[in-house]
Chain A
Amino acid sequence: MTRSRIAAFLALAFIVLFCFAGVTATTTVKDTTVAIEMGLPKLLFSLSSAAILLIPIALVAAGAAFIAFIQGEKNVGMLFSFIATAAFGLFMVLFSMEEKNSCLYTPISDALKAAEVKFKKRDVDLISPSFNLLSWLALVCVGASCVIGHGDFSKDRRHILKRDLLPYAYIGPHLFFFVIFFVTPAIYGIYAAFTKWDLFTEPVFTGLENFKILLFDAENTYYKQLRNGLWNTVKFVLMCVPFCIIVPLSLALALNARPKGNKIFQALYYLPSLMSISTVTLTWRYVFNVQYGVVNHFLGVDANFFMPPYTWIMLVIVTVWWCTGSTMVIYQSALASVPQDQYEAASVDGAGTIQKFFNVTLPNMTYPLMYTLVTAVVAQFNIFGQPDILVGFSNGEANAVLLQYVYENSVKKQVAGMSSAMAVILGLCIMVVSFIQMRMMVKNQQD
């Protein structure tokens, strides 16, 4: 067996050992000592200690090291093994240093209650954790994979080492933040969807219970919320996305004709994209005010845009106004790259403006159009601020979108498990729609 394969085996052994490793914690309250054992995978999902964030980094790095060693990339494998060793080692140190570890408090508190000790949280001064043999063995394995799998450090081969590792130096900072702020919360969010969790105590794993309620329990509040929220979200996407394409495209075409003052107009159209959603919605709230709003004033009506049937119109206008700028600059860039000779040839053939648009401009803009379509759909599926600030849950929740329910249920009502399950379902919907669109985009490119 080559060194690479041994190192790969050790990196894999780390992941396997982690699954069975655990920690023992003891505490003494009022002369009663209790001890609990907790597996590291469960610890990983207890969602309540900063040190635990190092575990996903260690696991991801060990997985990457395994793949690199298998492919014979010893230098890369060594790098990831080192990261895994450092992250896991640091986790063990930091975790042991916490005097009253919040991950361990809940099981310790349960053990104290089981021992019929009357106590308050402040009576639990110190919870001493100690990692079991498998935890240390896991650390040794991943450390050994780093040592065994290292590449050739001879002087004349250092440039190879540099060549292999330099790309990771470039992507390293991004990768670090990506794992911490995207991968880890996403994993935790998905896990939370399978639990009952009030945000403050230990999540209780309930399997598919939340999904069963959301998808099949027609009498349950959350079943109704999911149906209403998802349907409203889909309605909004269908109403809004076409305008999110047509309006910026029209403006880009107009600006592409270089009218006088086009730079000023370009800046003005782009300006709303720089504003926060709160600013945008509060501004439009006054614009659409029933008694004092400029819209009613100029139209000479007293329409209530905050009530059906006008609410969706208002939400689409606000959203398009906010999103137009960033899409418009993409179209401007695409329009600038359309070959002029094609327009000249079309002119020679006697094509008019409309024919040129459909036969020259659009075919040259397929990719940016598909790209903006995908991003617009994803963005509008994630609509939250506009309906939440402008209409909330009023009008019989006629305009309540799914993310409003997700936010309210998790943060205000602390029904975080159910809320995460709703978010997972929304995520799946977005993935399916995006997948179909991406397939269409690829097919279009091939054609």
Chain B
Amino acid sequence: MKKTLALVLSLVLLLTAATAMAATEIDYWSVFTGGDGAVMQGMVDAFNASQDEVHVNHTPMTADDLYQKVPLTVQTGSGIPDVCVVHIERIPNFVNQELLYSYDLDLVAEAGIKQENYNQSAWVKSTIDDEQYGIPLDVHGYVTYINKDLFDKYDLNEFVADGYITFDEIRAIGDKARAAGWEGGIFNLGWMRAQMLCYYAQLAEGHKLTDDGIAPSLDKEAMKKAMETMKALHDDGYTTKKTDDALSMFYGGEMLVWSEGIWMKAAVVDAGVNFEMYPAVCYSPETCKNWMSSHNFVQFADEERTEEEDLAVAKFVNFMGENSLTWAKDAAQVPAHVSINEVAEFADMPQAFLADPERGDELAIYYYLHWGLFDTAFSRVGWDFIDGTIAIDDAIAQVEKEIADSIAAQ
């Protein structure tokens, strides 16, 4: 009897101890599904292995899925993730819909998170009414890759000597390469919205999409010129056609200049392409700007979440910031944690120019309450203005009208 009692008591003690030592479980949803998804999972695993107080469960999904699912979890009050990565442009609308909690800056400071440790342009964009809603993981944008072997072969390096590629230089590159017998692609039109916003930012003062923060008020002349530039390149035969597979062409050495996100760098390396990375194609080096975004850690509203879980989230987020070299190296992003600038290895990476404080003016992060509506409306006219299905003036008017009508109907 005594033995049984002792056994039971021991078991109870063991269970109690095990419960006391159990790690705080954190549900983390992210928008990383491709190569960057595997890198992020590796970083989460590294965090889990680095300590035993917090265990993070990572659920990756496409951005569209996440933006549909998370608000619904908040609506139903069940299955709300403890922390999410969202694009910075989405934060104002989430705040407006009361879907996000702001960070308790005293609490997160306990975990080491402080404003001065982060890229300021990204940090302040998620500060709304003096409340901090996002902690930036990175900044990322649409850049220009060149095939270095082809540039050497056709003697095209003079066009990138100053570190920029202008639209005139795209034509010159094409003409010179073709004269030397090149029959492949010269430049691509890919993600139309991202490319157009790069060029729009170079032309529109403050790259504004709105005057009052709510109603759309696009700089029509700037947008028209940006779209006309793209269409002219296409019509003159310097870009891919709608049906071309630009990615396969660049990987296969069939494309000279490729406009893509910095997040594709790892894939380009895997494809064995000898490449160099430059800012977005520009009208002139002096006015060059890149459309940028930023992945931010946010916390959706959850009544059940405890302060202990909030602190666990902060520890995880801080770890991600302090160990973001992996994010830069393997996912080719530009970490928002300033510690990255002290890492010599990062300075040698192709995307490092995007973290150069002296070139901060070249980064254009868009910030608009109804960003989602702009995104959907512009995606509609994507290739249509290029192939002439819709006139450029009509396309711009359609985008603006659709946003205005949607706001009125919400």
Q: Give A contacts to B, CB under 8 Å.
A: 48, 50, 99-100, 102, 120-122, 196-201, 210, 213, 219-222, 290-291, 304, 306-307, 393-398, 408-409, 411-415, 417-418
Contact = CB atoms under 8 A, between A and B. Distances in A.
Contacts, number: 74
B409 A210 contact: yes
Contacts of B398: 221
12 contacts: A48-B75, A50-B76, A122-B301, A122-B303, A196-B409, A200-B74, A221-B406, A306-B243, A393-B380, A412-B372, A413-B406, A415-B409
B249 to A, nearest CB: 11
A395 B386 CA distance: 11
Interface in B84-128: 97-99, 101-102
Contact of A394 (B303, B376, B383): B383
B384 A396 contact: yes
Contacts of B242: 307
A25 to B, nearest CB: 16
Nearest to B101: A122
Given A100-B303, A200-B75, A417 B382 contact: no
Given A197-B410, A222-B405, A396-B390, 10 more contacts: A120-B101, A121-B301, A200-B75, A221-B406, A306-B243, A394-B383, A395-B389, A398-B389, A411-B68, A415-B409
A199 B69 CA distance: 12
Contacts of B77: 102
Contact of A412 (B76, B376, B383, B402): B376
B98 A121 contact: yes
A221 B397 CA distance: 11
B380 A414 contact: no
A148 B7 CA distance: 60
B76 to A, nearest CB: 8
Given A48-B75, A396-B384, A418-B409, A200 B99 contact: yes
Interface in B395-410: 398, 401-402, 405-406, 409-410
A412 B75 contact: no
A417 B409 contact: yes
A394 B75 contact: no
B101 A221 contact: no
A2 B261 CA distance: 78
A397 B410 CA distance: 23
A186 B263 CA distance: 43
B350 interface: no
A168 B9 CA distance: 54
Interface string B365-404: 0000000110010011011100001100000001001100
B175 interface: no
B71 interface: yes
B93 to A, nearest CB: 9
B68 A412 contact: yes
B245 interface: yes
B292 to A, nearest CB: 23
A358 to B, nearest CB: 45
B401 A201 contact: no
A395 B303 contact: no
Nearest to A394: B383
B80 to A, nearest CB: 13
A165 to B, nearest CB: 35
A398 B77 CA distance: 40
A291 B248 CA distance: 12
A48 B68 CA distance: 16
Contacts of B409: 196, 210, 213, 222, 415, 417-418
A250 B101 CA distance: 61
A412 B90 CA distance: 12
B97 A198 contact: yes
Q: Which of B380, B382, B410 gathers the greatest number of chain A CB atoms within 10 Å?
A: B410
Nearest to B102: A120
Contacts of B245: 291
B64 interface: yes
A154 B49 CA distance: 71
Contacts of B71: 199-200
A122 B383 CA distance: 44
Contact of B410 (A219, A220, A398, A415): A415
B97 A413 contact: no
A16 B220 CA distance: 57
Contacts of A102: 75, 77
A398 B101 CA distance: 42
A397 B74 CA distance: 33
A100 B379 CA distance: 39
B390 A290 contact: no
B384 A413 contact: no
A306 B402 CA distance: 25
A396 B97 contact: no
Contacts of A290: 243
B75 A413 contact: no
Nearest to A306: B243
B380 A397 contact: yes
Given A198-B97, A394-B382, A304 B243 contact: yes
B380 A198 contact: no
B64 A412 contact: yes
B301 A291 contact: no
B241 to A, nearest CB: 9
Contacts of B97: 198, 200-201
Contacts of A393: 379-380
A291 B243 contact: yes
A50 B76 CA distance: 8
Contacts of A415: 406, 409-410
Contacts of A411: 68
Contacts of B98: 121, 200
A432 B390 CA distance: 35
The 8 A-B pairs with the shortest beta carbon distances in the complex, nearest first, are A396-B389, A221-B405, A198-B410, A418-B409, A221-B402, A290-B243, A415-B409, A200-B97
A210 B97 CA distance: 22
Contacts of A200: 71, 74-75, 97-99
A196 B405 CA distance: 12
A264 B405 CA distance: 54
A415 B76 CA distance: 19
Contacts of A306: 243
Q: Which of A200, A290, A304, A417 gathers the greatest number of chain B CB atoms within 10 Å?
A: A200
A196 B383 CA distance: 32
A307 B242 CA distance: 10
Nearest to A416: B410
A42 B193 CA distance: 42
A221 B406 CA distance: 8
Interface in B43-94: 64, 68, 71, 74-77
Contact of A196 (B75, B303, B390, B410): B410
